[in-house]
Structures are given as structure tokens and as C-alpha cells.
């Protein structure tokens, strides 16, 4: 099997394969044993980026947050060189409980210790601000990260869900004051959700040399093609998201995915991921799986190459 290329994460020393495993499913729709098998298979396939957040999966009934990090930590604790083989990414800033939210220095210092404990590691490779905190000066947040980088608990920092104005302000503050800068952006971006990223963020990331790791790369499963009617959404946990794509444009995108998939003897999910991977500004999309069969499909996308006509066909369908 040919080796998987590694792409740099901004100007940092980190590099990742062109697909990141989204850890939101761990401790939610994938139990511990299943999660362990998926993580092992992912690394054995030549991939190394694993993304999670402290808040995963607080959104699930009965969960408190921290479940995903806990599962990953137990997997890492099995040893076998697992920690050295991965680029471990997590996030801070979403609400974890009363007085447990935001990007103040005090909260970051508490939250990182909780994440390190759950992850059973002494450092986080990429620590990301899960969303901007308009109530905290950006310099305070960046100085907290500077302390963590100096202590060795964090290697690189990134941002998620930032607007172009918020990201630019943070990058300018880093440059003006000699503080660590966000080396990555994690935006919501896929074939049916394009304008938010492409309007301003994409140009800014290319101009400033940030790595980009989009989430919802498969539009909560819509771009796999398994949701073709309202009946397909019955009982699905992400139906509230997917239903937003079930319109004329969404079905047009599915038709284009089917067409390109037929040309390349691939699946719709693989083509949707390959389209993102082919985007010059994108480092690696994030995607999740709950079975080994699903994961094998996703990993196969990294070996696909879309030609210009395929890229154009998909882009036109999604306008």
C-alpha cells in the first residue's frame, strides 16, 4: 500500500495525513471497544490526525462532556507507541458547566489540565479555541497559550468557528506583540456549505499561511448519499442538520457526486472528501466513522485524484 502524504499544519512543525478522524463519536455513537478498533485501524492505515474537544459529547443525553477525550486517553494508555504515532488535537472554550466556558487565562489553565488528565498524556499537539470569546481580550488568551507552549503542555494553537474579522484580529495581535499565533483554522466547510468559508476566510488563511481542517466535511452524513428523502431521516440523530440540505441544490450536488463516483468507481462520500482535499487551501478535512467499513471508505478518499473536469462539475452543482 502506498504511503500517505503528510501536509504541514500552518507554519508549525506538525504535519498530518490528508484526513483527520473526528472524535465526536467516541463515547456517543461509538462505544469504547468500537472506538479502540477504529483508532487502531486509522493509524494502521497511515493516518495520524485525531481531533476531539473537551465538550464532546456533552450534547448527548446522559453525557457531561469529556467522554471523547476519556476514550482516547484509555486507547493511548494501551501503549504500543500510540501517542508517538498521532497528532492529538483538542479544543477549549465551549460551555462545560457553570463558570466553565470562554477563553480567559484562568479557565484555559483549568481546562487544559482536565483535558490532559482525560487524555492520559503530558502534552496536546494542537490546542484550539473552540470559538471566539468576545468578552476576553485576545491578548489574554494568547498569553495563556504562550505559557502552555513554554511549559511543554501544548505544542501549537489553532482556532475553530472564527469569523474572518476575529481571526485577523488574533493574528495581528500575535504579530504585533510577539505572541504565539493560531496556525490552523477549523471551519464549517463542505460541498453544500461553502460561502461562509470561501467569502473571506479562505483568502485570509492562504495569505497568512494557516492550515485548514474543515469539520462537517460530509454535511452530517448528507454527502454520503444515504439521505435521499424525509423517510431516510427517521430516527437519525443528525436529522435536524441534514434536513437543511434536502432541497433542489442539495439533490443537484448528490447527482454530481453520483456521476463523479461512477467515473472513478468510488463512493459519494469519498468524492466529497476528495473534493475538499483537492482545494488548495485545505490541509485535511475531518470525518467520523462508527464502523470499520465506514472508516475504510473514508480513508480511501485520500488515494483518489479528481481531475479538473470533476472538480468543476462538483463546484458548479454546488453553487
Active-site residue set = 56
Lookup: cell for 241: 442538520
DSSP string of 97-123?
BTTB-S--HHHHHHHHHHHHHHHT-S-
Give the contacts of 168 (CB within 8 A, at least 6 positions apart). 204
Lookup: cell for 148: 502552555
β-pairing verdict for 211-212 and 182-186: parallel
Give the contacts of 224 (CB within 8 A, at least 6 positions apart). 218, 267, 268, 269, 272
Give the contacts of 189 (CB within 8 A, at least 6 positions apart). 196, 197, 198, 212, 214, 215, 216, 217, 276, 282, 285
DSSP letter assigned to residue 6: -
288 and 24 Cβ atoms separated by less than 8 Å? yes
CA 111 to chain centre: 20
* b/e map 197-223, b = 16+ CB within 10 Å: beeebbebbeebebbbbbbbbbbbbbb
Q: Which helix (H) or strand (E) holds 179?
A: none
Amino acid at each position: 500500500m502506498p504511503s500517505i502524504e503528510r501536509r504541514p499544519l500552518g507554519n508549525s512543525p506538525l504535519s498530518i495525513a490528508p484526513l483527520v478522524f473526528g472524535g465526536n463519536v467516541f463515547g456517543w455513537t461509538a462505544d469504547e471497544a468500537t472506538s479502540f478498533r477504529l483508532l487502531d485501524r486509522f493509524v494502521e492505515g497511515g493516518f495520524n490526525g485525531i481531533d476531539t474537544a473537551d465538550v464532546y459529547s456533552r450534547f448527548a443525553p446522559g453525557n457531561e462532556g469529556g467522554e471523547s477525550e476519556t476514550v482516547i486517553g484509555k486507547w493511548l494508555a494501551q501503549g504500543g507507541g500510540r501517542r508517538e504515532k498521532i497528532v492529538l488535537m483538542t479544543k477549549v472554550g465551549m460551555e462545560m458547566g457553570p463558570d466553565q466556558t470562554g477563553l480567559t487565562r484562568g479557565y484555559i489553565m483549568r481546562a487544559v489540565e482536565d483535558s490532559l488528565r482525560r487524555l492520559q498524556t503530558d502534552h496536546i499537539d494542537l490546542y484550539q479555541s473552540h470559538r471566539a470569546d468576545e468578552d476576553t481580550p485576545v491578548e489574554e488568551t494568547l498569553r495563556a497559550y504562550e505559557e502552555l507552549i513554554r511549559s511543554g503542555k501544548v505544542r501549537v494553537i489553532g482556532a475553530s468557528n472564527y469569523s474572518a474579522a476575529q481571526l485577523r484580529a488574533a493574528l495581528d495581535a500575535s504579530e504585533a506583540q510577539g505572541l504565539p499565533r493560531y496556525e490552523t483554522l477549523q471551519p464549517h466547510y463542505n460541498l453544500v456549505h461553502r460561502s461562509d468559508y470561501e467569502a473571506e476566510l479562505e483568502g485570509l488563511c492562504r495569505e497568512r499561511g494557516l492550515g485548514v481542517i474543515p469539520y462537517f466535511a460530509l454535511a452530517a452524513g448528507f454527502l454520503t448519499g444515504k439521505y435521499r428523502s424525509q423517510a431516510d431521516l427517521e430516527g437519525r440523530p443528525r436529522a435536524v442538520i441534514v434536513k437543511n440540505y434536502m432541497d433542489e441544490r442539495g439533490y443537484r450536488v448528490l447527482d454530481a457526486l453520483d456521476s463523479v463516483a461512477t467515473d472513478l468507481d468510488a463512493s459519494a462520500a469519498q468524492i466529497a472528501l476528495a473534493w475538499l482535499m483537492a482545494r488548495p487551501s485545505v490541509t485535511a478535512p475531518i470525518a467520523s466513522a462508527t464502523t470499520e467499513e465506514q472508516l475504510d471508505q473514508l480513508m480511501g478518499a485520500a488515494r483518489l485524484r479528481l481531475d479538473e473536469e470533476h472538480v468543476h462539475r462538483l463546484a458548479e452543482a454546488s453553487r
